Amino acid sequence: MKIIVTGGTGFIGHALVEELARQGHEVVVLSRKTGHAPQASVRCVEWDARSSGPWQSEVESADVVINLTGAPIAERRWTEARKRLLTESRIVSTRLLVDAVAARSVPLPLLISASGIGYYGPSDDRLLDERSPLGQGFLAELSAAWETEALRADQFGTRVVLLRAGMVLELGGGALPKMLWPFQLFAGGPVLPGTQWVSWIHRADLLSLIQWAIATPTVSGPVNAVAPEAVTMKTFCTTVGKVLHRPSWLPVPGFALQLGLGELGTLMTTGQRVDPAKARAGGYPFHYPTLEPALRAIVNKEDQTCLPSSTR
């Protein structure tokens, strides 16, 4: 199978590309970085995510396109300029991809496009599934606009899967390494109020869920990429402390995050309790359905070379 991946050099994309290549797929990474490929069966083709080019011929012959392009959400404060970058890096690139899909001589069988559980907006204790309505706030608006662009491919006979991912757990990227540091310094604790929900997924499950979507032709539309066990922030941090043999005793005031990060601070002080209803109904077998085994699998690896020095 020929699979095109955008965002294939990032925290999720790089691992996905390696896994797909190991399974024998022909993988083409569309990226500004066109240097050394991770596997012999991987080709890197240049694109700037803004303009047409030779990459379009790759889309013409693809079986699957996986769209992971987008500037990191939590990298820095959400200034107006940053919001524009977050939006344009998703909307423009996805529009460009779908335009290439529309120009194919035959329909593309499958487009998997990233999204996020931010679609549901800050929520209370309600259990949210793929049928839940659009929420409020910047992330909800961004997710909805991103998904709308991807869903245009449906008009051209393409099955579209919208991967609404929660907090992705693994070393080497994402939120988890940043959360481990204070615990290693015996200064870990929950972000207050502590009752906000954390919907998470081990990166291995996210990669497997993508492969499950490829292999399951009945799956389409939004798919919540989260583990079945959402937990509160207090429980999440208590579990981190237990796995690391450290206390979880020093709460982080929400106002401090909002003071330092502005609107971005709401990512940690609010949350969503999300259910992977489609994955469960479709029989996807989660490798890590509960938090403690997921964290232990991450921090207790035999090869610890990718850990920060203070977490080895």
pLDDT in tens, 42-82: 999 999 999 999 999 999 999 999 999 999 998 889 999 99
What are the two backbone dihedrals, phi and then psi, of residue 205, each rounded to the nearest 5 degrees? -70, -35
Domains of the chain: 2-311 (3.40.50.720)
Residue 47 gets which letter from DSSP?
A: -
Q: What pLDDT digit, counting tens, does each position of 199-216 carry?
A: 999 999 999 999 999 999
CA 27 – CA 206 distance, rounded (Å)? 18
Note the pLDDT of residue 263.
Answer: 82
Residue 165's beta-bridge partner residues? Answer: 116, 225
Residues in the chain predicted with pLDDT less than 50, given as ranges, are 302-312
**pLDDT for 264:** 79
Tens digits of residue pLDDT in 264-273: 788 889 999 9
Check if the beta carbon of residue 239 is closer than 8 Å to that of residue 179.
no
Please report the pLDDT score of residue 112 as a whole number: 98
- The whole-angstrom separation of Cα 224 and Cα 228 is 10
How many beta carbons lie within 10 A of that of residue 305, not counting itself?
7
| pLDDT of amino acid 222 | 98
Asked if residue 149 lies in contact with residue 91, where contact means CB atoms within 8 angstroms, the answer is: yes
